[in-house]
Amino acid sequence: MPDQPRIPGRRFLQSPGPSPVPDEVLAAMARQPVDMGDPRLDQTIAACEAGLRALLHSADAGIYLYATNGHGAWEVVVENLLPPGAAVLIPGTGHFSESWAVQTEALGRRVVRTPWQPGWPIDNAAITQALRDDPRHEIVAVFAVHTDTASGITSDLGAIRAAIDAAGHPALLVVDAVASLGCTRLEMDALPANVVLGASQKGLMTPPGLAWAAVDARAAAVAERNPAPRFYWDWRLRNSPLSYRKFCGTPPQTLLAGMAAAFELIALEGEDAVHARHRRLARAVQAAVQAWSEAGPLGFFAREPASRSVSVTAITVPEGFDVDAMRAVARERFGVALAGGLGPLQGKAFRIGHLGDSNAATILGCLGAVEAALRVQGIAVGGEGLRRAVDSLVADEDG
């Protein structure tokens, strides 16, 4: 890293990914690698697989881990499920659904999109209609982004499942849970979802570089019939008790050790408590943003309050406001790192992450820094922001 002026104390990382890494995870990653015959390596991999199944509420899903990021996980499902030229339906939810669509097309597959209405969750009626418009069942799967970290919107997976069922279409449901698993409840088997994918650097509180896919029997059968050439991403080649075959080579031991430690922390706190904490912190952030917006220039990008994510809040800014300059002030003067807007929101919004290893103290410190940085940059904000956040935390029923 280039030299920067030192800010005493700990800098706060309040982006929606990478998220803060707990000290216990960092400590687990500090140990030396072991040889690939060491049973501790198999135990670490097994702990990661078990941790994912527990959070996914799936006893039987096949778990596949990859040394990659979330975009790699997207490619995993494309190459395993879709023959060359096959079609997939990707409902519009903003930057990340469109990015997944572009990547899928670059891999030689056909994408059917539903329209995206900025500020709103996935249009479930449009899913049903798009599938009804496919009487030959050429669409193999629906690729749905659960929480879009660019927009701060979480779509209703149960409603998406119902939309597919209403069409009477056999398409698989594939869920991107990169920004939702570990933050909000996701029940793979009960939904059901056929594939759920994710990555390490958000609710799972591990540095970037480890992605995963959970696969049910129906999706595994589709992959088995798929004639597409593949090797590194191939689920079939990774069905082995041998650690090096599970990773098509040397496993990323350091990241696996960190993720195993993260699952221990989640289990220690309790899944319900983890989810309640995320709801509590999200409500505090949203209370502050609501107060700031009363002065005029700022606002929520997510139009529907119920769709506002427990992971991240996207905040719109007035035309001509230099978001990057404000973020630099927050980072270098007040010690809090925020995220900017992505895709259509670039230069038009900033984002506060409140996921992973966050608590009331970090959120209040973050909100104070944001309010200070906005004022330094000349943005009028309702002066009750921090107080409203405190009031929310004091009164919160999840507290």
* pLDDT tens readout for residues 199-231: 999 999 999 999 999 999 999 999 999 999 999
The verdict on residue 5 lying in a domain is: no
The verdict on residue 16 lying in a domain is: no
The verdict on residue 11 lying in a domain is: no
User: How many Cα atoms are found within 13 Å in the side-chain-facing hemisphere of 145?
Assistant: 30
* Amino acid sitting at position 97: S
Q: Based on the domain organization, do 192 and 340 belong to the same domain?
A: no
267, 295, 330: which is the final residue of a domain?
267
Residue 359: C-alpha distances to residues 269, 281, 299, 376 (Å): 13, 7, 24, 26
267, 289, 309: which is the final residue of a domain?
267
| Residue 380: pLDDT band with limits 50, 70, 90 | confident
Per the structure, how many domains does the chain have?
Answer: 2
Share the mean pLDDT of the chain: 95
236, 267, 298: which is the final residue of a domain?
267
Would the pLDDT of 287 be above 80? Answer: yes
| pLDDT tens profile 26-59 | 999 999 999 999 999 999 999 999 999 999 999 9
pLDDT at 296: 78
| Residue 8: pLDDT band with limits 50, 70, 90 | confident
Domain that holds residue 348: 270-395
The verdict on residue 15 lying in a domain is: no
Q: Based on the domain organization, do 179 and 275 belong to the same domain?
A: no
**Residue 269 to residue 263: CA distance in whole angstroms:** 10
The verdict on residue 3 lying in a domain is: no
Strand partners, 148: 153
Mean pLDDT for 227-242 is 94
Q: Based on the domain organization, do 177 and 243 belong to the same domain?
A: yes
| pLDDT tens profile 260-282 | 999 999 999 999 999 999 999 99
pLDDT at 3: 56
Q: Based on the domain organization, do 50 and 186 belong to the same domain?
A: yes
Q: Based on the domain organization, do 154 and 257 belong to the same domain?
A: yes
Residue 212 maps to which CATH number? 3.40.640.10
The verdict on residue 9 lying in a domain is: no
Q: Based on the domain organization, do 181 and 282 belong to the same domain?
A: no
Q: What is the dihedral of CA 74, 93, 159, 305, to 10 degrees?
A: 130
Determine how β-strand 195-199 pairs with β-strand 211-215: antiparallel
The verdict on residue 380 lying in a domain is: yes
Strand partners, 266: none
